[in-house]
């Protein structure tokens, strides 16, 4: 199946620091989605990207659709304790209804 | 508005037993999906549906069957459960090929 590689796998940061994570795919995507999952719950959609080069923000979160269409980036500014969770990228390669998920980046924020 | 609900929340099965997981959404979404989540592997698509009466295989369909007899419901069946099917199962729905809303998950253990 489709491979989506997320890095880093885990991050431990101090409250107030900025966070960057990325996702790369082995093929071209036409949509990139970023989700956050809290323990024991389902993923929640944070940001959706539909065009190469697109930069979209949602509060302190900013995501970018890579120009090559094979990668995407998520930044969190001024992290707070409630940012703790696992962040997933997802998307469909080219056209299609099958969405593939990355393996996730686990974020820990130290107060 | 309940969003996406999943029944049951927890289940323990013995090898060879069968069961059905129910996903219901009240948002009139056309697209519905079943995923499984295993540690370190992100979410993998089992089956999906693009409308009432339609189903399609995802990345890991073996050992599962699905039905979408009503637009609001998507059922996932295990005919003969195996320990390898121990996982957390998530249902999702959306109004277009853009993943939006996930249910809270069903934790299944097969002994």
Strands (E), chain A: 4-7, 10-14, 19-25, 32-37, 44-49, 55-58, 61-65, 71-76, 85-91, 100-101, 105-110
Which residue in the set B48, B97, B105 is minimally distant from A42, CB to CB? B105
CB of A36 closer than 8 Å to CB of A58: no
Tracing tokens 């979410």 back to the chain, one arrives at B43
Residue in A44, A86, A89 with CA at minimum distance from that of residue A70: A89
Residue A37: phi and psi, rounded to 5, are -125, 125
Q: What angle do CA B102, B99, B69 make, to 5 degrees?
A: 70
Q: State chain B's mean pLDDT as an integer.
A: 93
Beta strand B10-13 with B106-110 is parallel
Of B31, B90, B97, Cβ closest to residue A42: B90
Q: Quick check: A42 and B41 CB within 8 A?
A: no
| Structure confidence by residue, pLDDT tens digits, B52-93 | 999 999 989 999 999 999 999 999 999 999 999 999 999 999
More confident residue, B41 or B91: B91
Kindly determine whether residue A1 and residue B59, on different chains, have CB atoms separated by under 8 Å: yes
Please list every residue in chain B whose beta carbon sits closer than 8 Å to the beta carbon of residue A96.
97
Taking a C-beta distance cutoff of 8 angstroms, is the pair A49, A65 a contact?
A: yes
Per-10-residue mean pLDDT of chain A, 111 residues long, equals 86 97 91 92 92 95 96 97 95 74 94 91
Mean pLDDT of B30-50: 91
Sign, CA dihedral B35-B90-B95-B25, equals positive
| Termini Cα distance of chain A | 39
| Rounded Cα gap, residues B31 and B90, in angstroms | 14
């Amino acid at each position: 199946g489709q491979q989506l590689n997320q890095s880093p796998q885990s991050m431990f940061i101090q409250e107030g620091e900025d966070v960057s994570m990325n996702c790369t795919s082995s093929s071209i995507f036409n949509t990139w989605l970023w989700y956050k999952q809290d323990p024991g719950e389902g993923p929640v959609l944070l940001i959706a990207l539909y065009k190469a080069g697109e930069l979209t923000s949602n509060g302190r979160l900013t995501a970018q659709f890579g120009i090559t269409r094979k990668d995407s980036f998520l930044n969190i500014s001024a992290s707070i304790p409630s940012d703790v969770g696992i962040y997933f990228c997802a998307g469909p390669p080219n056209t299609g209804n099958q969405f593939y998920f990355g393996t996730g980046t686990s974020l820990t924020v130290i107060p | 508005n309940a969003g996406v609900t999943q029944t049951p929340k927890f289940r323990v099965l013995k090898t060879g037993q069968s069961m059905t997981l129910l996903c219901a959404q009240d948002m009139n979404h056309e697209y519905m999906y079943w995923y499984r989540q295993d540690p370190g592997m992100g979410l993998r698509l089992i089956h999906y549906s693009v409308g009432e009466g339609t189903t399609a295989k995802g990345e890991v369909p073996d050992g599962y069957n699905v039905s979408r007899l009503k637009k609001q419901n998507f059922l996932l069946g295990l005919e003969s459960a195996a320990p390898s099917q121990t996982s957390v199962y998530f249902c999702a729905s959306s109004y277009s090929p853009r993943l939006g809303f996930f249910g809270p998950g069903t934790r299944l253990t097969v002994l």
